[in-house]
Amino acid sequence: MGSRVSREDFEWVYTDQPHAARRREILAKYPEIKDLMKPDTNLIWIVIMMIFTQAVALYLVKDLDWKWVIFWAYAFGSCINHSVTLAIHEISHNNAFGNYKTMWNRWLGIFANLPIGIPYSVSFKRYHMDHHRYLGGDGIDVDIPTDFEGWFFCTTFRKFMWVILQPFFYALRPLFINPKPISSLETINIVVQFTFDIIIYYVLGIKSLVYMLSASLLGLGLHPISGHFIAEHYMFLKGHETYSYYGPLNLLTFNVGYHNEHHDFPNIPGKNLPLVRKIAAEYYENLPHYTSWITVLYDFVTDDTISPYSRMKRHQKGTVVLE
């Protein structure tokens, strides 16, 4: 099972998240950054091309042996599907059509959701905005693991299993931490997605459907790109809750690795985040960062001081804390 993690609770902090204050300071010093706050219309065409590419793959795998279906789901489909989820992340910030065409962004998100197999685009938008507004907020930020995750996944082997099962925890966590009523747009997302899944099954067969779902589960689990889930906010260094990654996989992930920059300026599209770092270099060059998501995954699993509990957490304002 491996050594047991020493940490037994989250890192409770009583300060505000650093991003709002840094954003104000940077904008006061470099007002030209406001020029980067505009939609990235190229995102629309990139999404269309990714969906088309995965549609071709769904056709090509329909008659393969099962071993090759799973092989290509991990070797190819997982990269496409994980990249699509990060396109949906960009779309959730209205970075495709801008803030004045919010519904166009929602429809594009539902379309981008198709090769994932599980409807989540609309729900992700609702919960992800809470993650930005209330980073680490107890009972609000569903990016924070549950107490059960922190308590149970406390050994090397269990942490390894937790990494594999990340898609399930991300899907189920909102139901336990901050359940919200299903909106009409979420219902549309569900109906469109399951209609697409049924069409894939009846037109191309079970192997194409399994390829599609496996690509999502494998790509969001034990996969090099999945290192970003842990790299973004898990506290490898005490006092630091957001970390950037400056490596080649940013090319596949819409620069989600520029995560300090993203939380400082969530309305700047991913393609412009390197410019934020370049313009305001003195604010970012001394912050801890990563150059390898694979190393992050390895360190998370093997380091007996790191676990799902390694997150900075805040009580909701107005909550009375009894010591």
Here the tokens at position 137 are: 């907020």
C-alpha pair distances (Å), 198 with each of 40, 91, 192, 209: 32, 25, 10, 9
Dihedral pair phi/psi, residue 250, rounded to 5°: -60, -25
Dihedral pair phi/psi, residue 266, rounded to 5°: -65, -15
- In whole angstroms, what is the distance from residue 10 CA to residue 20 CA? 22
In the chain, what are the domain boundaries? 11-313
pLDDT of residue 1: 58
- In whole angstroms, what is the distance from residue 10 CA to residue 163 CA? 18
pLDDT of residue 5: 86
Q: Under a CB-based contact definition with an 8 Å cutoff, are residues 212 and 77 in contact?
A: yes
Here the tokens at position 256 are: 């989600």
Nearest to 180 by CA among 143, 146, 140, 134: 140
- In whole angstroms, what is the distance from residue 254 CA to residue 244 CA? 13
Nearest to 121 by CA among 91, 156, 78, 81: 91
Per-residue model confidence as pLDDT tens for the chain (323 residues): 567 888 889 999 999 999 999 999 999 999 999 999 999 999 999 999 999 999 999 999 999 999 999 999 999 999 999 999 999 999 999 999 998 899 999 999 999 999 999 999 999 999 999 999 999 999 999 999 999 999 999 999 999 999 999 999 999 999 999 999 999 999 999 999 999 999 999 999 999 999 999 999 999 999 999 999 999 999 999 999 999 999 999 999 999 999 999 999 999 999 999 999 999 999 999 999 999 999 999 999 999 999 999 999 999 765 433 33
